[in-house]
Chain A
Amino acid sequence: MKQFEFPEISRILTPILARHGGDASRLLQVLLEVQDVCHFIPSEAIDLIAAHFGVPRVNVEGVVGFYSFLSTRPVGEYRLLFSGNITDQMLGKDELMQYLCNKLWVEPGKVSEDGLVSIGSTSCTGMCDQGPAALINGWPLTKLDHNRLDLIAELIRSRKPVADWPAMLFEVVDNIHRGDVLLGQPFEPGAAIRATLARGAKETLVEVDKSNLRGRGGAGFKTASKWSLCHAAIAEEDGGVICDVGGHPERFIVCNADEGEPGTFKDRVLLNSYADLVFEGMTVGARVVGASKGFLYLRGEYRYLLQQLEAVLKRRREAGLLGETILGQADFSFDIEIHLGAGAYICGEESALIESLEGKRGRPRNRPPFPVTSGYKGRPTVVDNVETFACAAKIAEKGAAWFAAIGTAQSTGTKLISVSGDVARPGIYEYPFGVTVSQILDDCGAEGRPYAVQVSGPSGTTISWKEFDRKIAFEDLPTAGALMVFRRKRDLFQVAQNFADFFAHESCGFCTPCRVGTELQKKIMSKIASGYGTASDLEELKRLGHILKTMSHCGLGSSAANPVLDILEKFPDMVESKLKAFAFKPAFDLDGALATARTITGRDDDWAHL
């Protein structure tokens, strides 16, 4: 691997830094570009970047260390990261990864000796309906099989630039199998903004309120309440109101497109094919709360959408739907900037997302204050999910009564469900709220007899076949949109173990109950999986689960035990069948752990064995 000398690094950095300007909130975006060019963040670059933004070097190092797509040591010129979600695993990810490693003479998690290639795993890349999936230098590869890996190995060995690889490797499809009011009806860009301007901002807030729209990102907070709290909030500094360029109190609209929850991929489809609807919802929100600036926080895994999204923004500016004096309205300016994430699930948590937008490590803030009063740079900020904004646009266009007539009393409208796992037709299904799980299973062609379903990803709920008549709704089964199906004979313990690994990997490390708790949970699960589990380990898992739930700083930690506790409660025999003994057993092979020392010392006496 080429070592960068100082002059060269500054030659690389100067244009990047000039393009991003001096605001430290650009730090993460700068680092992503440097990683792209150099395949790591050289130490000299850290010095230069720190000096450029006027921040201490440790701040920059802290950010580099936090995000999994950044590294301080060179990764391969070709960096291939296999998506590690359970759905990819069920489609053979482990074997495929080993196959490619063997072909390219590289160990998983390492860089090949010539620096050409590195192969590893990453958390769910949001391609669960077309897996096994991977990222090559940030670009998504789908439907991997041995043939495709043969081709990829060939392309890497011949050092063909990724930009010149055959397009079919990168094909990502929407797989919409059921559309309703969001996906199934045409939308005329500008319609919602026109309706909002005609009705008035206040009246539009009343409409959103009456529609009873609740957030689609998981927590289900009432959107109108959030918007009106933000509208009422004002940030002050030295006794004066902080204003935007137009002289209005500064507020922000943020669209949460981090979509990190394994098994969820509906925001990807919305952004790919319904971006106008989403941006329009943000613009309506901006009019209602009085914001002049918005951000789309796009997860790093969806970077391939960046260019086309920028094109949509450009088109909307040209059409007068974004920018200064929107649709000729003198007092209405609003523009949207896209920020990229860099492989951190925690950045989907709204306050961590805001930290990340500010260019920092994605560490959840103490709340209160909530983002609606003190968010991005301390200004009142609305953070809503992609789908929430799409719904808001529809409500602005068609009115509250129309929307509230769909769904159930507490859950109005429709929900996009990302279906994956053991089904004939994985993909996106839009249903009115209140649909039963068994209805969805019928529609997607669940194979054989479905046995368990993971609703709303690892942080959600595992339900057994006895519960399939439960309803998708805030009253019963709330969901951020993921639905993973497991047929009979699937090893549900392996599923829970995959999720435990996920949480241990994604814990941001800020608070001890989660940092240590998720790691202990992972360790015990792995102990049980390798045949060293005992009954007392199950008790320990329950105790740990209680600590995680009650003591964690944010939602990641407090839901990290859900899949483990669910399987213990609902499928105890799946766990107990893994236990070799009910009495205590050591957690590892005692004699085996002496083998290295036996080799080194050449000993084989009685005392060298256990």
Chain B
Amino acid sequence: MSEQSDRSPHPIPLPQAGEGEAVSPAGDALKKIRIATCSLAGCFGCHMSFLDIDERLFGLIELVEFDRSPLTDIKRCGPCDVGIVEGGVCNAENVHVLKEFRKNCKVLVAIGACAINGGVPAMRNNIDLWDCFQEVYCYEGGLECGQIPNDPELPLPFDKVHPISEVVKVDYFLPGCPPSGDAIWKFLTDLLNGREPKLDYEQLHFD
């Protein structure tokens, strides 16, 4: 995200007030900001870190509602304000999910080292795909009694794991493995308030 900081901000157009919707403390009815999240080739660590914003979740839930996300179990992403993607792109299904997010979300955020660079899963990039398959399925102790599975339901892996920015345009990058709950909170509150998200040094360094 830091490298994006000289970009013009993406204020989220404030939704129109409507019946039966959340009411802000000032009493105006506001449409909630709709957020979708997903994990592609990631470990769900970034999602876990999201939960680390702890009791602030209650405040957040006043302002936002969740579309597709592990929190809701909605399977397909609909029109949203913000999409948050954890994990890189390692297979064909990841591309379908990612493109659906990009199509539906006004602002797309790459969260965590895996989404930004490929991260831990990209460590397989130095290994030939044939060797990967053989190691996993064919050698002794392998998973599938010497057979390589070919069911169309299984996502087909790419030669290499890619950062999501190589597949769709990404608006913001939130670094960390995972980013701390505080960093996520700061990022979201900036975004929700129409400010250019900006993390302090303390929230960005990890030593």
Contacts and interface: CB of A to CB of B under 8 A. Distances in A.
B139 interface: no
B129 A590 contact: no
Interface centre among A584, A594, A597 (most CB of B within 10 A): A597
B166 A587 contact: yes
A545 to B, nearest CB: 12
Given A543-B6, A590-B95, A601-B149, A584 B157 contact: no
A552 B152 CA distance: 48
A401 interface: no
Nearest to B168: A584
Contacts of A584: 168-169
A543 B5 CA distance: 10
B130 A600 contact: yes
B166 A600 contact: no
Nearest to B6: A543
A547 B5 CA distance: 12
Listed residue (A587, A598, A603, A607) with the most chain B CB atoms within 10 angstroms of its CB: A607
B159 interface: yes
A608 B129 CA distance: 15
Contacts of A593: 158-160
Interface in A580-610: 584, 586-588, 590, 593-598, 600-603, 605-610
A584 B166 CA distance: 10
Nearest to B149: A601
Bin chain A's interface residue count.
20 to 34
Given A588-B162, A610-B92, A603 B156 contact: yes
Given A543-B6, A586-B166, A598-B156, A603 B92 contact: no
B167 interface: yes
Contacts of B168: 584, 586
Nearest to A598: B156
A607 B92 CA distance: 7
B152 A600 contact: no
A107 to B, nearest CB: 15
Contacts of B55: none
A412 B159 CA distance: 58
B16 interface: no
A145 B7 CA distance: 50
Interface of A: 536, 543, 547, 584, 586-588, 590, 593-598, 600-603, 605-610
27 contacts: A536-B169, A543-B3, A543-B6, A584-B169, A586-B168, A587-B165, A587-B167, A588-B162, A590-B95, A593-B158, A593-B159, A593-B160, A594-B92, A594-B157, A594-B159, A595-B159, A596-B130, A597-B156, A597-B159, A601-B148, A601-B149, A603-B152, A606-B152, A607-B92, A607-B93, A608-B156, A610-B95
Given A593-B158, A600-B148, A603-B152, 10 more contacts: A543-B6, A584-B169, A587-B162, A594-B92, A595-B159, A596-B159, A597-B156, A601-B148, A606-B152, A608-B92
